[in-house]
Every structure is written in structure tokens, then in C-alpha cells.
Amino acid sequence: MPVYERLIQYILEEQDRFYRIAYSYTGHQEDALDVVQSAVCKALEAHESIRNEDAIKTWFYRILINECLMLLKKRKRILLSADDLGQEEVYYEKGYELDDEMEEELAQLELDVQSIIKLRFFEELSLKEISCITGLKLSTVKTKLYRGLKQLKENIQEVDL
């Protein structure tokens, strides 16, 4: 099967997963949909750059996460005036619910540590796959994961005291 067709098949099969990870970064339904759409467009445009057909999964995740991070950076740059702030409807994603405390504690971690934890535990990716996606060495991924988990544990225990 040609690479383009394999990529399309993969995107169609895993679209719910892509939405979940985008939602975990953005926290907004519309933003998550925009990020996934943008990632899919970029992947389809750049399908010829896939060197290893078996790496489609990690290749696409890298595009998706980069799109999420670009949106978050763009969001930081945009300062809304009080007039621009509207009441946003709260949206809850089934199957991807974190309690508020855990979500707040996770948000306090560095962005790259958050990414590693989300990919490892919410997307159930291997450390090697996370290394490929993030572009970090495997040992760095392990270190950041374990430090992040230790910090989460300490923060949660402090809250419980």
C-alpha cells in the first residue's frame, strides 16, 4: 500500500485519539478540532517526507504536538481586553476526564514534562515512541517523566496535608 494511503488509513482509524491529545493540550473543543485539522493537512502535504513507513505513528504525533504547542504560544501572545472576554461553554470529553486537582497539578509542570506524561499515560505510548515524537533522547524522556511524576506526587501530598 502506498505511503499516502497508509497515512490516510492511519488518520481515519486514530482520529479520536488525536482529538483527545489535542484537547488535553488546549482544553477547548474548537481549538482541539482546529489543531487536529491543521495537523492532518500538514501531514498530508508532507507525506513524501516519510522515510520509514513504520514510523507514521510517531511522525504524525510529532506534527500534532507541535501544532498544539504553536497554538498555546499564539494564545499566550494574544491579550484579550475585558470586552473580548465572553463566557465560554464548558465542554467535557468523555473518556478523558481528569479530576480538577490532578489537572491543576499537571498544569503546573513544565510543558515538555506535561507532554511526556500525557503521551505515556493517556495515550499509552512507549518511552521510545515518546522519544521519537519529542525529539529528546530516551534517557532524557525517562528522567523528565520520573521527575515529573515525583513532583506530581509531592504536590498532591502537600495538598492533602
Q: Are both 40 and 106 inside the same structural domain?
A: no
Q: Which domain holds residue 142?
A: 99-161
| Domain assignment of residue 121, yes or no | yes
What pLDDT is attached to residue 98? 53
Do 106 and 144 share a structural domain? yes
Rounded Cα distance, 134 and 147, in Å:
17
What is the predicted pLDDT for the residue at 121?
86
What's at 54, amino acid-wise?
Answer: D
- How many separate domains does the chain show? 2
pLDDT at 99: 61
Q: If phi over 0 gives left and psi between -120 and 50 gives alpha, with beta otherwise, what is residue 92?
A: beta
Q: Are residues 64 and 119 in the same domain?
A: no
Per-residue pLDDT tens, the chain, 161 aa: give them: 788 888 899 999 999 999 999 998 888 899 999 999 999 999 999 888 888 878 888 899 999 999 998 888 887 776 454 344 444 444 444 444 556 677 788 888 888 898 899 888 888 889 998 998 888 999 999 999 999 999 988 888 876 65
Q: Where are the alpha helices (DSSP H) in the chain?
A: 3-26, 29-45, 56-77, 100-107, 111-117, 127-134, 138-160
Q: What is the pLDDT of residue 100?
A: 66
* Total length of the chain: 161
pLDDT score of 78:
65
Under 8 Å between Cβ of 35 and 68: yes
Instruction: Enumerate the H helices of 78-137 as residue ranges.
Output: 100-107, 111-117, 127-134
Query: What is the residue-wise DSSP string for 55-79?
Result: GHHHHHHHHHHHHHHHHHHHHHHPP
In a domain, 23, yes or no: yes
pLDDT value of position 83: 44
